[in-house]
Structure 1
Amino acid sequence: MIQLARAPRLVATDLDGTIVRSDETVSPRTMSALKRLAASGVILVGASGRGPRLLDLCRNDIPAADFLVLGQGAFVYECRYDDTVVQLADRSVDGAVLHEALRLVEAEVGPVRALAEPADPDRNITGDPMPDWPWPAVVLEAAPREVAFSGPMVKGYFVSDHHTGPELLVAAQDVLDPDLVTVTESGVGMLEVCPVGVTKAAGIQVVLDKFGIDWSDVLVFGDATNDLSMFNAAGHAVAMPNGHPWVQAAASEIAPAGNNDDGVAQYLEELLELL
């Protein structure tokens, strides 16, 4: 039985590892539960580390969402019933800031492979070769770092052959100025260096302000350390059983099953009986 004390006014869910299965699909059962939730009047937000160039993919994965928070919170979109999308927030960081962050991280942990995601969607994500890039739909382009890290950026991606994503995160937090950048990782082995103040919680705050909703009326689902900001803010947080230990420790409860077994759908189906 779910441990939720009261019905939420807003539900925010992570995508990869939470509602998206290992085969990169969302099940019909989960799609149905999310659609029913949105139809009940609860505001539904999809919150992902995916950048804005994956907006269409995100809309396909959670078509019932009223809002999408992308790029770790830097971009917020309202998804309207007439199939239009309105951008509500857009944050970027100068490439030179990311390049300096890269220098400091490498001084701390040794060589890493690095990519820069430009704010201009007509520019490819560029930088070092990245053989294990997890998003095949996104085109990468090899380029010298001084070229890659130039102009406004969504974020930088740093990968080490000798350190996990969480290990890189801890090291980066020790050497990077939080007044210049925000660092996180999303469970795929990459450190992500974002504009200062950018978190999923900050992106969701844009939606809360629009409707005058308090965090105590928010329910969130997630699995990776980039979900911690919304877990720490929400009135109720549900971690996936396949989630990172830090996330499970911050959760109000654990979902009844993992992302491959409709854990979020199972939870929402029980919630919908109470609405």
Structure 2
Amino acid sequence: MPRSGLPKLIATDLDGTLVRSDDTVSAYTHEVLDRVRAAGIRIVGATGRGPRLSSLTRADIRAADFLVLAHGGWVYDVTDPQPLRSARLPGPVLSTLLDDLERAIGPLTVMVEALEHPDSPLWGTRTPDWRYEVVVEERPRHECVAGDVIKAYACSASHDVDDLLAAARSVVPPAVATITQAGLNVIEICPPAVDKGTGLAVVAETVGVDPADVLVFGDMPNDLPMFAWAGWQRVAVANAHPTVLAAADEVTLTNDLDGVAVYLDRLLSR
């Protein structure tokens, strides 16, 4: 059932949720978000994008007060260049983890995100079917895991991404790494205890907001931790992954029909 009143904080995923399939955010969406912020509600962009894409992220959600990046591993107050959270996965841990996965699953194509600076390249072997522009520096595996990383991407020629995710989670304990998928046909390997729920918890603690007062929007399995954490309402866009639709309290229109903005517009008009 729709909740009464208004939430104190709104967090939304970007790609596939706020951002349309053509990688744009409509003027209508920006206008609605501006009205949300004018109503005194804090806004958080919560995305799998790493800190190297913070400029793009700020452009896509201009009204945001905070950014939760890298699936929760990096958290920023947009007024402060220093992150509130900056988590990394040790290279030796990632190396062992990948060896364990390949013994159980078979060969993997791997890229790592090691640098947080704007527009930094990824390292490794470019994964097939990657839909976004990205510079990949081809490097052997041992070089990619020589230092700590923000996250890693892995795909398998013999496994669908959902099957790969399930298989990887059966091999890698949560205490070693958090593994998720965000719709890119790759699994994403993050530090332990890093997800959008724990990232939002950093924001909530910073501003003194209870999870019960947080409204969230999402579309992919990497959004499920913030669905589990937030208590005001959990809303999926109609194009969401089946697991997200099943976890949602409500379903709004697709990302291409500005479902987040339509929901918020109606919320403000009640």
TM-score range, shorter chain: over 0.9
User: Aligned-pair distance for 1:120?
Assistant: 5.3
- 1:18-37 paired onto structure 2 within 5 Å: 18-37=17-36
**Structure 2 residue 112 is the aligned partner of structure 1 residue 112:** no
Contact 1:221 1:237 in 2 (8 A): yes
For 1:191 and 1:175, how far apart are their aligned partners in 2?
13
User: Aligned-pair distance for 1:86?
Assistant: 4.0
1:241 corresponds to which residue? 238
Which residue identity lines up with residue 46 of structure 2 in the other structure? A
User: Aligned-pair distance for 1:96?
Assistant: 1.7
Structure 2 residue matching 1:103: 3-state secondary structure: helix
For 2:256 and 2:148, how far apart are their aligned partners in 1?
37
2:88 corresponds to which residue? 92
1:167 corresponds to which residue? 163
- 1:1-275 paired onto structure 2 within 5 Å: 3-80=2-79, 85-119=81-115, 121=117, 124-136=121-133, 138-235=134-231, 236-255=233-252, 257-274=253-270
Cα deviation code 1:156-194 (max 9, x no counterpart): 100112222221111111000211111111011110010
Contact 2:14 2:47 in 1 (8 A): yes
Structure 1 residue matching 2:37: 3-state secondary structure: helix
**Normalised by the size of structure 1, how large is the TM-score?**
0.93
Structure 2 residue matching 1:152: 3-state secondary structure: coil
**Normalised by the size of structure 2, how large is the TM-score?**
0.95
For 1:196 and 1:105, how far apart are their aligned partners in 2?
16
Which residue identity lines up with residue 19 of structure 2 in the other structure? V
Identity across the alignment (%): 44
Contact 1:134 1:188 in 2 (8 A): yes
Contact 2:52 2:116 in 1 (8 A): no
For 2:74 and 2:220, how far apart are their aligned partners in 1?
19
Contact 1:79 1:86 in 2 (8 A): no
Structure 2 gap segments, 5+ residues each: none
Aligned-residue CA RMSD (Å): 1.5
For 1:133 and 1:127, how far apart are their aligned partners in 2?
14
For 2:21 and 2:78, how far apart are their aligned partners in 1?
26
- In the superposition, relative to structure 1, how do residues 245 and 187 fare at CA in structure 2: closer, same or farther (>3 Å)? same
- In the superposition, relative to structure 1, how do residues 266 and 126 fare at CA in structure 2: closer, same or farther (>3 Å)? same
User: Aligned-pair distance for 1:132?
Assistant: 2.3
For 1:263 and 1:114, how far apart are their aligned partners in 2?
34
For 1:227 and 1:14, how far apart are their aligned partners in 2?
7
Cα deviation code 1:72-101 (max 9, x no counterpart): 001011113xxx544211110112211211
Structure 1 gap segments, 5+ residues each: none
Contact 1:11 1:220 in 2 (8 A): yes
Structure 2 residue matching 1:153: 3-state secondary structure: coil
Which residue identity lines up with residue 200 of structure 1 in the other structure? K
Which residue identity lines up with residue 130 of structure 2 in the other structure? W
